[in-house]
Structure 1
């Protein structure tokens, strides 16, 4: 078996030290306590500060535990901030694909749409927000179930209501869809919420790769899918590129 990752061990030790000392510490104190060269200790502390786990007083330059440690149970992105960071890319994606575009976040057992651009076939754009869609019957929802377990329920806890003949109505069927999504990196729905309408969704990621939301395109199944039920390459490439650009603005590298 591979050994422990030294940089993670050192970061964990730095956090334990800061959390247990009871007072702010200087870089020299931290480096000496951890038996590390000052440049190495500074690099670890800088990274921990950037992700919010450590904070540094601008006047004294002393280090303390950051507020980010108390919010480990949430992805940490406000829905309104997520919408503002994604809207330009979502709008461009709608224009380039001719699909409706959704940006969503988990909210209980449904997906809350923080941004929805509806512009099929070059028609005028319409914006809708503050709506919800089911998790088990939409690509957006299945994407969050597959990639954001921190803030989504287990499949067996959902009300698997049947919308069409293709809707997943058992936890086993839904888990199978989620396994495929994780393997392919994209979640899909094939006329599961609305007859004739399909969707494809990929996660939006923040610092460290944590999934904080999802970006989806939706439209007629014949427009979205090619032979074998796979998303058309041109559309998938545009979707993943847009999600990648949005993720960069959210701190993903």
Structure 2
């Protein structure tokens, strides 16, 4: 790997995770690189529009060029492109907001958001990043993914976002086994108090999981019976149809070794 590229990527990740602005000294400490090296990398990133320097404080923030790259990623992502119609249909059938997400590291990234029909003012969540263990989308993705990835993620950090967030590895393992049995995952206020989610994995033509689609909304609407079961069946059916749209067959769904 090219070391300078890795360091530049680390700087961008730190700026994305730590807040609006960081100085050269702060970035050098976080990345573990000498200040002159960090300064040189920042100058290069600034020239490319990937970071911007505040004129008053001298600190750096992410630049507008990254937004163009992010939009290009979304526009060329096959899962997102194929999911638009299915997500709209799922939102109409359930009356809830729909998210489509992919797994990036130990978080899920929302790549498409269909608003809840006839709802109150809603915030577009495209680009939101959520710890995999705290949402139905993440559990659906990990349960359907390679066993090695599941073991690695279970061994890693399990964040606590609410009092309902699950940090017991045995309990999470049991939940993932349940997802594989029934074909969908459920989240009960583990990411945001008052909110719940139901999601199912999406597969491509090779049979590998490429994302997940699910509904999110108030727990009193999503998880009350018999609505909960009706929603689960609808989400699972939509995920299967989206998978077929991506080329998957009824027998192609599989897990990596």
TM-score normalised according to structure 1 size: 0.62
- 1:57: which partner in 2? none
Query: Equivalences for 1:1-253 in 2 at 5 Å?
Result: 80-119=77-116, 121-123=118-120, 127-149=124-146, 152-154=149-151, 155-227=153-225, 232-253=228-249
Name the stretch that deviates more: 153-162 or 133-142. 153-162
User: Is the Cα contact below 8 Å between 2:80 and 2:111 reproduced in 1?
Assistant: yes
For 2:212 and 2:76, how far apart are their aligned partners in 1?
A: 12
1:82 CA displacement: 1.1
Give the structure with higher Rg (CA).
1
Aligned length: 174
For 2:166 and 2:126, how far apart are their aligned partners in 1?
A: 26
Matched residue of 1:242: which SS?
Answer: helix
What do residues 124-144 of structure 1 show as CA deviations (whole Å, max 9, x unaligned)?
776432221110010000111
Name the stretch that deviates more: 116-125 or 91-100. 116-125
For 1:123 and 1:94, how far apart are their aligned partners in 2?
A: 14
For 1:236 and 1:165, how far apart are their aligned partners in 2?
A: 24
TM-score normalised according to structure 2 size: 0.61
Change (3 A) 1:156 1:240: closer
What do residues 33-91 of structure 1 show as CA deviations (whole Å, max 9, x unaligned)?
xxxxxxxxxxxxxxxxxxxxxxxxxxxxxxxxxxxxxxxxxxxxx97111001111112
Q: Which runs of 5+ in 2 are unaligned?
A: 1-74, 250-257
Q: Which runs of 5+ in 1 are unaligned?
A: 1-77
For 1:225 and 1:101, how far apart are their aligned partners in 2?
A: 15
Change (3 A) 1:233 1:224: same
C-alpha root-mean-square deviation of aligned residues, in Å?
2.4
1:118 CA displacement: 2.7
User: Is the Cα contact below 8 Å between 2:143 and 2:150 reproduced in 1?
Assistant: no
1:210 CA displacement: 2.1
